[in-house]
Amino acid sequence: MGSSSDAHSRNKCAACYRQFNRMEHLVEHMRASHHSPHEPRCGVCGKHCRSLDALRDHLGFGASLPPKPACATAFAAKGCPLCLAGFSSSGSLRVHSPTCHLSRPPVPSRAMPRVAVGGVVALGCKMVGGGSDGTLDVCGRVCVIAENETIVFENFVRPLLPVTHYRYETTGIRPEYLRDAPTVKTVQRQGEGNLLNGEQPWKIRSSRGAARLLVGHGLEHDLNALGMDYPAYLKRDTAEYPPLVKTSARLMSNSLRFLTQSCLGYEIQTGHQHPYEDCVAAMRLYKRMRAMRHGQPKNGGEGDGCAAVAFPARRQRELERMSPEELLSMSKPDYHCWCLDD
């Protein structure tokens, strides 16, 4: 009995605590799982979770899976339900809560003149309907904000296609708002100017230079609506960032409304929706994820998506002699963690 228990302990993943009958199975698990210090972790037992949704389930705040009772009980008394951080005392939690629970931002009346943009901007669009049945998304309003949440650019957009459904109930857009609005081509040039920040488009394919990071939710959809393209390594999409996706399927994104309510503590997208609110929510989510400290040097842990780099097959025998903790220290994430942007 004792030897069997020791074997299971040795073959237990140091990140997710899953147990395996054979060490070779644990090595294969490490190749496939991409565990790393950048994953969300339980502040009580230290378990790594693939996403914040999975961590919420573990701590009793989710609805997909039953929680771990011991962790849920401990976290309920001294844990923040928004950022999922645990604290040593209820007093520390009370001090932390006001800084974590944010409020819905008021929409500024217009763009600020000569705003200091910085190296990160957020993009948000509101779509109206085109096509014969009004289901084709075409951009009717666009907003770009700086990291300090001031508006860099905001305007209605006159689509190239005829608008057949203005979706007024949610967008608040009327036909007269688009009649004299700038065209998509004009907005495209302004948007590219804000993003490139003086860099040549061909140059940023291999080197960022002065180009800005672009934050948003569903960026590919918004960029397509504006006829724009931007390198993937400069995009920070809250709809695709692994810690923010759904537990059930990694490729399924949570809505921005859900992420804002569960991570920031307030509601958006009620009544007539302004793209500024979406920009601010995406920027706040990005900054919260970027501010997380994972205890790993910035020159390490960059995701390359290739497990063979960390666990090459030629070293199989050597890997099987390592401890679970040593295997975890070698593992790399399969995505770029935003904490590395600082």
The per-residue pLDDT for range 130-180, each reduced to its tens digit, is: 999 999 999 999 999 999 999 999 999 999 999 999 999 999 999 999 999
| Residue at token pair 């409020």 | 103
| pLDDT class of 299 with cuts at 50, 70, 90 | very low
CA neighbours closer than 13 Å in the CB half-sphere of residue 150: 10
pTM, two decimal places: 0.90
Chain-wide mean pLDDT for the chain?
A: 88
- Name which residue leads in pLDDT, 223 or 90: 223
| pLDDT class of 246 with cuts at 50, 70, 90 | confident
Task: Report the Cα 130 to chain-centroid distance in Å.
Answer: 29
pLDDT the model gives residue 1: 45
CA neighbours closer than 13 Å in the CB half-sphere of residue 63: 1
| pLDDT class of 108 with cuts at 50, 70, 90 | confident
Boundaries of every domain in the chain: 2-101+294-341, 120-290
Contact (Cβ atoms closer than 8 angstroms) between residue 281 and residue 217: yes
Contact (Cβ atoms closer than 8 angstroms) between residue 264 and residue 103: no
Task: Report the Cα 98 to chain-centroid distance in Å.
Answer: 22
Lowest mean pLDDT among 36-40, 235-239, 304-308: 304-308
Lowest mean pLDDT among 16-30, 59-73, 226-240: 59-73
Of these ranges, 44-53, 189-198, 273-282, 317-326, the one predicted with the greatest mean pLDDT is: 273-282
Closest CA to 263 of 247, 276, 250, 282: 282
pLDDT the model gives residue 332: 87
Closest CA to 245 of 51, 36, 84: 51
pLDDT the model gives residue 323: 92
Non-local CB neighbours of 13 within 8 Å, separated by 6+ positions: 19, 20, 26, 29, 30, 33, 35, 324, 328
Report the length, in residues, of the chain: 342
pLDDT the model gives residue 224: 96
Second-level CATH architecture of 120-290? 2-Layer Sandwich (3.30)
**How much is the average pLDDT of 54-63?**
86
Closest CA to 137 of 145, 123, 126: 126
Q: Please give, one letter per residue, the 3-state secondary structure of the chain.
A: CHHHHHHHHHCECCCCCCECCCHHHHHHHHHHHCCCCCCCECCCCCCECCCHHHHHHHHCCCCCCCCCHHHHHHHHHHECCCCCCECCCHHHHHHHHHHHCCCCCCCCCCCCCCCCCCCEEEEEEEEEEECCCCCEEEEEEEEEEECCCCEEEEEECECCCCEEECCHHHHCCCHHHHHCCCEHHHHHHHHHHHHHCCCCCCHHHCCCCCCCEEEECCHHHHHHHCCCCCCHHHEEECCCCHHHECCCCCCCECCHHHHHHHHHCCCCCCCCCCHHHHHHHHHHHHHHHHCCCCCCCCCCCCCCCCHHHHCCHHHHHHHHCCCHHHHHHHCCCCCCCHHHHC
pLDDT the model gives residue 167: 96
pLDDT > 70 in the chain, percent: 89
The per-residue pLDDT for range 196-237, each reduced to its tens digit, is: 998 988 889 888 889 999 999 999 999 999 999 999 999 999
**pLDDT beyond 50 at 298:** no
d(CA 330, CA 30) in angstroms, rounded, equals 9
| pLDDT class of 103 with cuts at 50, 70, 90 | very high
Contact (Cβ atoms closer than 8 angstroms) between residue 79 and residue 42: no
